[in-house]
Amino acid sequence: MDTPIEPTGRLTAIGNQLIDIHLSLREELARLREDTDARLDGNGNGNGHGNGHGNGHGERPGGLRAHCLAFCSAVSRHHTGEDAGAFPALAELHPELRPVLDELGRDHHIVAGILRALEELLAGSPQDAGPADAARVRFELDGLAALLESHFFYEEKKLVAALNALPEGAGTAETLLGG
């Protein structure tokens, strides 16, 4: 017989849900970088229609541009959720975490700048996209990947235990973590 999950059991896992969100974003970023590499290698045309060779990874419908914009949106939604939900809740209950939360918030602004740069790079028509565009996207993605990996690791190290200890009624993964 299954034991029902009580609300406190669900809330206990908020820190674990943060890790799951980060894992999903890491995986999606890896796929996006693979799509970009395929575009640089001439195995995709950036709009979801390869040159017959494919990228070996099933380039997403809508191509590199749509995939990148969807990823940027997911990261933005997650960071906006943390800034509005988890960080204020943690700051109130754990004032000793405020310097960490401030640092993570600064990271969010830097990440937002890189996401804006990516979106600007991808603002043109898919037919106009060439290898140089993919190279610039890859450059931005490499910087983003390095920053996000450091950011996620630090956030997980510093916040998971506090998130798992949030009291009942503090919120859901959606309201606290943006996803």
pLDDT tens for 29-64 read: 999 999 888 877 776 544 443 433 344 444 443 577
Q: Which amino acid is at 159?
A: L
pLDDT tens for 9-23 read: 444 489 999 999 999
Give the pLDDT score at 145.
96
Instruction: Look over the chain and give the mean of its residue pLDDT values, rounded to a whole number.
Output: 82
* Topology (CATH level 3) of domain 7-177: Four Helix Bundle (Hemerythrin (Met), subunit A) (1.20.120)
Confidence check: pLDDT of 102 > 60: yes
Q: What percent of the chain has pLDDT over 70?
A: 77
Task: Give the pLDDT mean for 88-99.
Answer: 97
Give domain limits for the chain.
Answer: 7-177
Gap between the Cα atoms of 139 and 134, Å rounded: 9
pLDDT band of 136, cuts 50, 70, 90:
confident
